Structure 1
Amino acid sequence: MALLEIFFGLLAVGFLIYKWGISSFNAFEDRKLPYEKPWPFFGNIASSALQKMSFQRQLSEYYNRNRQHKVVGLFNMRTPMVQINDPEIIKKICVKDFDHFPNHQTFINSKERLLNDMLTVMKDQRWKRMRNTLSPVFTAAKMRNMFTLMNDGFAECLQHLSSQSNSEGFEVDMKVLFNKLSNDVIATTAFGLKVNSFDNPGNEFYEIGQSLVFSRGIQLFKFFLVSLLPTLFNFFKMTIFESSKVEYFVRLVVEAMKYREEHNINRPDMIQLLMEAKKEGEDNWTDDEIVAQCFIFFFAAFENNANLLCTTSFELLHNPEIQERLYEEAKEIQESLKGGSLTYDAVQKMTYMDMVVSESLRKWTLAAATDRYCSKDYTLTDDDGKVLFDFKVGDRVSIPIAGLHRDEKYFPDPQKFDPERFSEERKNELVPYTYLPFGVGPRNCIGNRYALMQVKGMLYNLILQYKIEPSPRTIKDLWASARGFNLTPRSDFWIKLVPRK
């Protein structure tokens, strides 16, 4: 009898959990918004959440099946989202009527240190004041000075490669290589710390940074847990980040600021620029608010910049004629520098490099989607005044960047890697608000200049010294091989580098 009671008790608990797992799935019924039937708990993103495909591919395929609708429902796990498939409506929501959708949705409801002080999490006027504080940090003039620090990272990366080099060429896992580069560049430009992860892969900054990355391991599990069960997560006082690791970053920045003030030291990095912005502004930002901007900088740049280098290298090895043209441009720039180091201004002159990286961002967009949160009721109408959807306060909006970037309506033959799409002659063919690699509107990525100069600078140095070729372990189909929330294949990013004669 007792066993039977336990069985029925477990059955009842399982049923209640299942009902909870689907409790939000009637969100679009009464509002007459088309949507696809979601999976319990995982909504419309089950395949990527369960590591069967990349998030980019999942959203792109969902977009393709539903692009006849300008507005369509999407369940991001249990969260109902209103997906906008039409570029004109994207413009309305993200730019023209921004005051109705000024914030990102809250993915993580946790009160742990630094988390709610990050620019991407800040809301309304607090976000606006911090954005205004940070904007001068990312001007071309400031990036020009910061580029000199990046050059040291490029040189250390190339020195590491030359130690493995032989005339026949050698295999490299580009993800490991570029993770180390990205780590070292962020350490020096954002945290004022000089590390060399190529000579010392066990350095504290690299190991702690690796353990905090969201896209894998325990961090990914915690992210799912806090997204699905925020009340339970907070009840047990769990945290996304280990407090000791957060304290490490806080200590790095606060001690650096104190030391520089006491010794009148000036260095062209993020800490220095934030110190200056803090002095010149009237907002009296706390140390935690300053440190949080370096912290989010780490998350925004670390994985994304490494992935962009990987996907671009992947395309160059599959398109040798594009690689050769890029090499010719790099040679011209090198000759114009007359033996000097690469500069920020020289990077800006590489028009074909810009076309190649732009096309890589189109085909392999780093952010599969961006989002907005409705803060004021908003009636969406078409050009004829017909009501398309009534947004209510609390509605979450999804902009399917990966879907738009691979829509043949906007980018003919989207599977083809074609940098000419971004040539001066063809740029005017781009439909506004269909190419959104760094987001859109006032909430777009503030660090796009930083990301681009790092990627272009490294590619310039790499391609001058090596031909990028396939190795026996190079994947054939990245779209099919990539898993989860970034574009890293399970078999890694193996390529072959052959020294140029």
Structure 2
Amino acid sequence: METELSLSIILSATAVIVFLYLYFTSTFSYWEKRGVPFVKPLPVFGNFVDYIFLRTTSAESFAKIYKKLEEHQFGGFYRGSTPNLILRDPEIIKQIMVKDFNHFIDRNPSLFEKISPLACNLISLTGNRWRKLRVKLTPTFTSGKMRMMLPTIVGCSQDLVLFLRESADDNHILEIRNVVANFTTDVIGSCAFGLDINSMKNPDSEFRRMGNKVLQPTLLTVALRSLVLIFRPILKLVRHPLVSKDVNDFFLGMVKETLSYREKNKVVRNDFLQLLIQLKNKGKVDEDLVSSKDDSHLTNVDAVTSSNEGEDEPLEMTDTLLAAQCFVFFLAGFDTSSTTISCCLHELAVNPDIQERLRKEVDKVLIRHGGKITYEALQDLKYMDSVV
């Protein structure tokens, strides 16, 4: 009897293992059948076993896949058992991102939207909601709008220069990445949220702390994000938000409070939030007085708009939706900008000849533009572009 029971258990366990193996490998012939080169996956994990066990970042995992396909224009890989395509050829990438953009609009469908209101942003939305929001938001990033925000950025830069000058006078040793992070916090806080954060003097501000919570998540959040990359249905079961409740409440409350204050007191600022207020009240942003060749990213908006004609009612720009766009402005701009600037400063420090050449270019351009940092002056900094 015991022998029969043991045999039944072994057979059942074997059947379960075989079923799971077949289930998780059933798609592994997807790219081979289509004649597409691919990186050989592992059962369950696909090509992300190191990422799942937190041995590498997602960026490192994608870079590894990219390098393995270096002899091909494109290739396949697997997120768990889900086949994905990665592009390597610049012309194909340009074709998809520009000419045929209207046919390749969706990222992975977001599972966070119903859990976290801040996930209702342009990165996470798909389908018709994405189309409508994209059409509304694209005109907020014209060269004219960027030119409008430049004085705000210059003001934050002057605070940075003052801080560095005072620190140099006192012979302080600085952790430059923290300094640059405070600077980018001030820029994004002012341009996106319409707030004077002043992180240079108050590095422990609530805005800074909440931002750190987003960019330095808990181990549980990191683990869930790793799993969700491969096994997306897990999020439906766990229902763990993209950000913690206090972060969600802070950013939502801050934007809603700022919106209410501006509307009641007729306050107008040259920032991203003001453009969102225009979208909410008018349905569109004011057009630039002068068009620019720098606005080529607008060329495919007509295609997105025309494909949206005849569909259901317009997208309502609620306060929550506006807050989500401000949040993704922070999410996309903070760490990327501070890391780029920090690495650039390091390279300039260890390459004084390049630093000197760059300094001479900046001095010449400033003389040419009357000693003022203007949008046109920045366009003249060709060597600066190469350095960055």
**TM superposition shift of 1:5:** 11
Which residue is 1:233 aligned to? 235
Change in Cα spacing, 1:107 to 1:132, as seen in structure 2 (3 Å) is closer
Which residue is 1:81 aligned to? 84
Change in Cα spacing, 1:301 to 1:20, as seen in structure 2 (3 Å) is farther
Which residue is 2:324 aligned to? 292
**TM superposition shift of 1:296:** 0.9
Change in Cα spacing, 1:130 to 1:214, as seen in structure 2 (3 Å) is farther
Change in Cα spacing, 1:100 to 1:343, as seen in structure 2 (3 Å) is closer
Q: Does 1:147 align with 2:179?
A: no
Q: Does 1:346 align with 2:349?
A: no
Indicate the percent of aligned positions where both proteins have the same amino acid: 31
Counterpart residue identity of residue 365, structure 2: I
Q: Does 1:158 align with 2:157?
A: no
Retained in 2: the 8 A contact 1:109–1:230? Answer: no
Which deviations, in whole Å up to 9, do the C-alpha atoms of 1:364-396 show, x marking residues without a partner?
Answer: xxxxxxxxxxxxxxxxxxxxxxxxxxxxxxxxx
The whole-number CA distance in structure 2 between the counterparts of 1:216 and 1:306 is 21
Change in Cα spacing, 1:184 to 1:19, as seen in structure 2 (3 Å) is farther
**TM superposition shift of 1:327:** 0.5
The whole-number CA distance in structure 2 between the counterparts of 1:161 and 1:11 is 66
The whole-number CA distance in structure 2 between the counterparts of 1:165 and 1:18 is 62
Which deviations, in whole Å up to 9, do the C-alpha atoms of 1:238-285 show, x marking residues without a partner?
Answer: 222222321211111111111111111111111111111222227431
More strand by share: 1
Which residue is 2:349 aligned to? 317
Which deviations, in whole Å up to 9, do the C-alpha atoms of 1:134-186 show, x marking residues without a partner?
Answer: 2232222222221222223222323332333259x764333222222111211
Q: How does 1:56-75 map to 2 (within 5 A)?
A: 56=59, 58-75=61-78
Change in Cα spacing, 1:214 to 1:97, as seen in structure 2 (3 Å) is farther
The whole-number CA distance in structure 1 between the counterparts of 2:256 and 2:194 is 11
Q: Does 1:327 align with 2:359?
A: yes
Tell me, which stretches of 5 or more residues in structure 1 are unaligned? Answer: 358-501
Q: Does 1:179 align with 2:211?
A: no
Q: How does 1:42-121 map to 2 (within 5 A)?
A: 42-47=45-50, 52=55, 56=59, 58-106=61-109, 108=111, 110-121=113-124
Retained in 1: the 8 A contact 2:121–2:325? Answer: yes
Q: Does 1:280 align with 2:311?
A: no
Provide the secondary structure at the position in 2 that maps to 1:36: coil
The whole-number CA distance in structure 2 between the counterparts of 1:34 and 1:180 is 45
Q: How does 1:472-483 map to 2 (within 5 A)?
A: none
98-107 or 256-265, which deviates more:
98-107
Q: Does 1:122 align with 2:154?
A: no
The whole-number CA distance in structure 1 between the counterparts of 2:233 and 2:66 is 32
Counterpart residue identity of residue 357, structure 2: R
Retained in 2: the 8 A contact 1:106–1:121? Answer: yes
Counterpart residue identity of residue 354, structure 2: I
Counterpart residue identity of residue 133, structure 1: K
The whole-number CA distance in structure 2 between the counterparts of 1:203 and 1:11 is 57
**TM superposition shift of 1:92:** 3.3
The whole-number CA distance in structure 1 between the counterparts of 2:380 and 2:260 is 38
Change in Cα spacing, 1:89 to 1:228, as seen in structure 2 (3 Å) is closer
**TM superposition shift of 1:110:** 5.0
Change in Cα spacing, 1:243 to 1:158, as seen in structure 2 (3 Å) is same
Retained in 2: the 8 A contact 1:183–1:302? Answer: yes
More helix by share: 2
Structure 1 length-normalised TM: 0.62
Retained in 2: the 8 A contact 1:214–1:220? Answer: no
**TM superposition shift of 1:83:** 1.8
Counterpart residue identity of residue 65, structure 1: K
Retained in 2: the 8 A contact 1:145–1:268? Answer: yes
Counterpart residue identity of residue 178, structure 1: V
Which residue is 1:34 aligned to? 37
**TM superposition shift of 1:336:** 4.3
Which residue is 1:416 aligned to? none
Retained in 2: the 8 A contact 1:184–1:196? Answer: yes
Change in Cα spacing, 1:93 to 1:343, as seen in structure 2 (3 Å) is closer
Q: How does 1:211-222 map to 2 (within 5 A)?
A: 211-213=213-215, 217-222=219-224
**TM superposition shift of 1:117:** 2.0
Change in Cα spacing, 1:79 to 1:309, as seen in structure 2 (3 Å) is farther
Retained in 1: the 8 A contact 2:113–2:120? Answer: no
The whole-number CA distance in structure 2 between the counterparts of 1:163 and 1:91 is 47
Which deviations, in whole Å up to 9, do the C-alpha atoms of 1:331-364 show, x marking residues without a partner?
Answer: 2234445555x2333222222212222xxxxxxx
Change in Cα spacing, 1:332 to 1:200, as seen in structure 2 (3 Å) is same
The whole-number CA distance in structure 2 between the counterparts of 1:118 and 1:23 is 34
The whole-number CA distance in structure 2 between the counterparts of 1:124 and 1:108 is 14
Provide the secondary structure at the position in 1 that maps to 2:30: coil
Retained in 2: the 8 A contact 1:226–1:233? Answer: yes
Provide the secondary structure at the position in 2 that maps to 1:172: coil
Change in Cα spacing, 1:38 to 1:346, as seen in structure 2 (3 Å) is same
Provide the secondary structure at the position in 2 that maps to 1:73: strand
Which residue is 2:195 aligned to? 193
Pairwise CA RMSD: 3.4
Retained in 1: the 8 A contact 2:149–2:191? Answer: yes
Which residue is 2:135 aligned to? 132
The whole-number CA distance in structure 2 between the counterparts of 1:215 and 1:325 is 40
Provide the secondary structure at the position in 2 that maps to 1:74: strand
**TM superposition shift of 1:202:** 1.8
Counterpart residue identity of residue 255, structure 1: E
Change in Cα spacing, 1:350 to 1:171, as seen in structure 2 (3 Å) is same
25-34 or 270-279, which deviates more:
25-34
Q: How does 1:396-435 map to 2 (within 5 A)?
A: none
Change in Cα spacing, 1:338 to 1:90, as seen in structure 2 (3 Å) is closer
Which deviations, in whole Å up to 9, do the C-alpha atoms of 1:289-314 show, x marking residues without a partner?
Answer: 21111111111101111121123223
Tell me, which stretches of 5 or more residues in structure 2 are unaligned? Answer: 284-313
The whole-number CA distance in structure 2 between the counterparts of 1:266 and 1:50 is 49
Structure 2 length-normalised TM: 0.78
Which residue is 2:306 aligned to? none
The whole-number CA distance in structure 2 between the counterparts of 1:321 and 1:216 is 42
Provide the secondary structure at the position in 1 that maps to 2:75: strand
